[in-house]
Structure 1
Amino acid sequence: MYDLHTHTICSDGELLPIELVRRCAVLGYRTVAITDHADSTNTARLIDELRPVQESARKYGVEVLVGVELTHVPPSEIPLLARTAKQRGADIVVVHGETTIEPVAPGTNQAACTCEYVDVLAHPGLISLEDARSAAAMGIALEITARGGHNRTNGHVLLMAREAGCVVTVDSDAHAPSDLMTAGARKAVALGAGMTEAECREALSLDIKRFLHRI
């Protein structure tokens, strides 16, 4: 099991990084990306602060991917910030997509889907087929999310991902202990988005190292 989108007290989450890891280990996760909210003020700090937790996480049998979620930044800044994060040592860069419940700047999805340094576009709302095709061409995953509100458009996201041939991830966007999903809950989110059983198996057992080919 994996989760490529989680938050800790390093931004607006409730858990210390190692507590998040421990709770994930108990639930059966083997790969967890810690992707706290980032902009130009804290991207480097977040990456540097999270490095020490990777060794602690291995003692619980969990591989931690150090990452950031670029959040509400002007679309024109996404390529530079994503590149900066990778150069600083981030394993994964997530972009906070154009969810329908927040005032994310128009053009954010397009900027993310055309950026070689972005790995996952989180909760992309009513993403266009053109942007989904760009994501597919770049190897960027579209997220099916468990997060309340953001998950309203999961069905649409899956349809666009299907037509464009995108990789799809199923993530929690966890901010609190109760947000972390069991294996059954992950499958329910996937099926609820409209996935077939075959699509569920593919998405829920994604080979993360192969997907994150930049690692």
Structure 2
Amino acid sequence: MMYDLHTHTILSDGELLPIELVRRAAVLGYKTIAITDHADTSNLAYLVKAVSRCREPAECYGVNLLVGVEITHLPPSMIAAAAREAKRLDADIVVVHGESVLEPVAPGTNRTACNCDDVDVLAHPGLVTLDDARAAAEHGVALEITARAGHNRTNGHVVRVAQKAGCRLVVNSDAHNPSDLMSMEVRWALTVGAGLTEEESRQILSLDVLEFLRK
């Protein structure tokens, strides 16, 4: 079943209302969507509360809405506390904005996220190290294969390191506008293009999201 664990709405820097994003995803065949707007200490509680209000209308469209946040540009020393607070507020999923080669993310962000039990996904982790990927495997943190332009430059590296470390991979859009949401065909091309075999692609694209999040 199609999933996307990293999307944005007008609650941060996206273009769509939360329910409009859900509706467009439903039309494409998605069954699980996580809304993970950019969060820091100023807006984390607001985002969790706001997105939670969309659970019922999402159900009407046949979509399991995961309430989440993407912890973004916080100093590494503050990431674990923010992730813990998000889960305390009943966020279903916590994503951390990784050390993408496009942005001046603080060094140590990847390492902190990979060692945090309250983090579920490290988004666009750039040139993630093997040691950090091994920590991710130990703590149940998935590394992201991303469709986002620019961030996706290192997808091949992320796949190779994740395979060596034995950590989980997920495929996300990092959607900010309607055209960012991917069809199944595009998702398939993204995984194979990142260096996964057809069987590996099938396994990742058919991820049981709820089982993964139980970790």
Aligned equivalent of 1:154: 155
Aligned equivalent of 2:104: 103
Pairwise CA RMSD: 0.5
Q: Does residue 178 in structure 1 map to residue 179 in structure 2?
A: yes
Deviations 1:29-68 (A, max 9, x none): 0000000000000000000011110110000000000000
Aligned equivalent of 1:188: 189
Write the distance in 1 (CA, Å) between the matches of 2:110 and 2:200: 23
Deviations 1:180-211 (A, max 9, x none): 00000000110111010011011100000100
Q: Does residue 11 in structure 1 map to residue 12 in structure 2?
A: yes
Deviation at 1:167, TM superposition (A): 0.7
Q: Kindly report which structure 2 residues correspond to 1:1-215, keeping only aligned pairs within 5 A, or say none.
A: 1-213=2-214
Deviations 1:152-183 (A, max 9, x none): 00000000100000110000000000100000
DSSP 3-state at the match of 1:65: strand
Write the distance in 1 (CA, Å) between the matches of 2:56 and 2:164: 40
Structure 2 residue identity aligned to 1:101: L
Deviations 1:74-126 (A, max 9, x none): 00000000000000110000000000010000000000000010000000000
Q: Percent identity?
A: 65
Structure 1 residue identity aligned to 2:76: P
5+ unaligned residues in a row in structure 1: which ranges? none
Write the distance in 1 (CA, Å) between the matches of 2:145 and 2:18: 23
Write the distance in 2 (CA, Å) between the matches of 1:161 and 1:29: 25
Give the ranges of 4+ consecutive aligned residues of structure 1 lying more than 6 Å apart after TM superposition.
none
How many residue pairs match? The answer is 214
Write the distance in 1 (CA, Å) between the matches of 2:175 and 2:54: 18
Deviation at 1:6, TM superposition (A): 0.1
Could you tell me the TM-score, scaled by structure 2's length? Answer: 0.99
DSSP 3-state at the match of 1:125: coil
